[in-house]
Amino acid sequence: MAGVTTTGAGAGPATSAARVLVQALAALGVEDVVLAPGSRSAPLAYALADAARPEPPPGAPALRLHVRVDERSAAFVALGLVRASSVGPDGAVVPPRPVAVVTTSGTAAANLHPAVLEAHHSGLPLVVLTADRPHELRGTGANQTTVQVGLFGGAARLSLDVPAPDGRPGEDRDLRRAVARSLAAATGARTGDPGPVHLNLAFREPLVPGSGPWPEPSTVGLTHVHARPVAPSAVAAEPSAGARRGGAPTVVVAGDDAGPLARRLAEANGWPLLAEPSSGARGGTHAIAAYVHLLGHPELGGAVRRAVVLGRPTLSRPVQRLLGRADVEVVVIGARGADWPDATRNASEVLLEAPARMRNGRMRAPEGWLEAWLAADKAAGAAVDGVLDGASDGRRSRSGARVTGPVLARAVAEVSAPDDVLVVGSSNPVRDLDLVARWSAPPVVVANRGLAGIDGTVSTAVGVALGLPDRRVRALLGDLTFLHDIGGLLRGPLEQVVHLQLVVANDDGGSIFATLEPGEPERADVFERVFATPHGVDIAALCAGYGVRHTRVGDVDGLLPALAAPGPGLSVVEVRVDRTGRRALGARLAAAVAAALRD
């Protein structure tokens, strides 16, 4: 009967508590759990295994379970599943569902930290469940026992240390209450600030289930916390004059996770749209693909007097210079989170929602403003293509023109249909895509831009593919990013098949540094060893070891055939990319665009 807990005789306190916790997770909206194996977490492992059966035992909820050997990979698979859940059936953006990741104690818990930080900065509801020794064993030198309480510091929206269950009255109610509080914090239901939460769960032996059945599902302590509505009138009714007046030469800067509102505002008011690939806004009639180069032009970027910022801009220094200018009014619009993007400390207004005048198109830019940007972008695009089609410094492989990073990104953009999902790695791949992607109807683009690290990118893409099995999912990443998470290729034979194409730009090192200060010619004496870090890895052999299909492309002519038909399962397309002229290529692109604008 609902409201009454009947713990099965012989189940044991640890098993009973784990089952109650899994029931509560499912009742409060968790559908996917990622598990890394361990001993202290065995009560949770057995409960999750029951819940994942085709026909769960009486009392057990239905959950999807994903098992990964490596805890860091498991956490990023969970992040990928969270990101996938925000993609609605018609491509609309919906609030992401919380996804849980389970580990045992010790270093296993510490390996979750990179994903927790990414979830913190991206505002993603990751539910971290770490098993731990009971309190009497902490500080005694017991095996695999460390300080796990508060392990993730300020990155966790909520951190709870749950004592080892012993069967006392009211224990199940308290556990359900803890789960409810955690999921409310993870989704930002009360705060509007979603992010990771940490439940540190102590268990005493016995850790394996006895003969008792599952407890009957109960609602005692199971609090459903409804998200607070954002009332537009409370925030947007009286913005200052800056956010009300029209006529100013304005651009929309759409950073990571800006969402479709950025595009709607640009199109309603005739503003150029400067949208990063992972903004969710890149596309349509107002998107400016070559904005990074155009921002330096005095009659375009130099004439901007207002920037409306949505999402979190992270990709380019020209954008940050624009947002830091004293003559540019910066209006930040963001609907969630405790902080707002303002790295230049120059924002004049921060609004939860766009004002009605802005939404209704009553703040139009001066006549000819948008047309000037579109014409310049068309000329710049032709100039970029002209340089890229010049066969990479004129050098060729035995069979054809060598591939550069931007050429590869352009090919990936061309084969990505609106219903596809594209996961993009940090460093050069996302910047190359930012330069060349010209979509009227873009694919869904996902990137870990919370901290813009290369951690867990393969595993994130795997999680996205698991969460969106009916879509074609492709990832574009560099060789160091791929090798950093090579364990993400590992999938046990009992786990769900992943349909994912990984496109690896293999330039034998980190070419991103060639475009930064360390890549300046006068610093060449140490560049190769401590920045470029060549590795010489045989990627084909690695893929063979993991049982993953591998294709190598060495020239431009082989790109589109290799990318167009990924086929089922997990596959890697390794594209040999020349990085020796990376810095010079950037200079040639900038010069070509500048010449096109002069002409």
Assess whether 120 and 40 both reside in one domain: yes
Q: Is residue 230 part of a domain?
A: no
Q: Is residue 430 part of a domain?
A: yes
Assess whether 393 and 349 both reside in one domain: no
Assess whether 311 and 403 both reside in one domain: no
Condensed to tens digits (0 to 9), the pLDDT of residues 6-15 reads 444 468 999 9
Assess whether 128 and 181 both reside in one domain: yes
The confidence score (pLDDT) of residue 27 equals 97
Q: Is residue 232 part of a domain?
A: no
Q: Is residue 484 part of a domain?
A: yes
Residue ending a domain, among 307, 335, 369, is 369
Domain containing residue 143: CATH number: 3.40.50.970
Assess whether 423 and 567 both reside in one domain: yes
Assess whether 306 and 165 both reside in one domain: no
- CA–CA dist 474, 320 (Å, integer): 29
Q: Is residue 351 part of a domain?
A: yes
For residue 391 the two structure tokens come to 């066969």
pTM attached to this predicted model: 0.92
Assess whether 49 and 190 both reside in one domain: yes
The confidence score (pLDDT) of residue 35 equals 98
The confidence score (pLDDT) of residue 66 equals 98
The confidence score (pLDDT) of residue 242 equals 54
User: CB-hemisphere CA count at 13 Å for 54?
Assistant: 0
- CA–CA dist 287, 441 (Å, integer): 11
* Counted domains in the chain: 3
User: CB-hemisphere CA count at 13 Å for 308?
Assistant: 34
Give 406-410's long-range contacts (Cβ < 8 A, gap of 24+).
406/432, 406/435, 406/436, 406/585, 406/589, 407/556, 407/559, 408/432, 408/476, 408/503, 408/505, 408/559, 408/575, 408/577, 409/433, 409/435, 409/436, 409/437, 409/476, 410/436, 410/437
Assess whether 399 and 295 both reside in one domain: no
* Residue range of the domain that includes 528: 389-598
Q: Is residue 375 part of a domain?
A: no
Strand order in the sheet with 273-275: 273-275, 250-254, 306-310, 329-333, 347-351
131 in helix, strand or coil? strand
Residue ending a domain, among 202, 237, 268, is 202
Q: Is residue 383 part of a domain?
A: no
CB atoms within 10 A of CB 192: 16
Write out residues in the chain with pLDDT < 70, as ranges. 1-10, 229-246, 335, 391-400
Q: Is residue 380 part of a domain?
A: no
Assess whether 359 and 495 both reside in one domain: no
Assess whether 516 and 589 both reside in one domain: yes
Assess whether 456 and 325 both reside in one domain: no
The confidence score (pLDDT) of residue 565 equals 82
Domain containing residue 277: CATH number: 3.40.50.1220
Assess whether 346 and 421 both reside in one domain: no
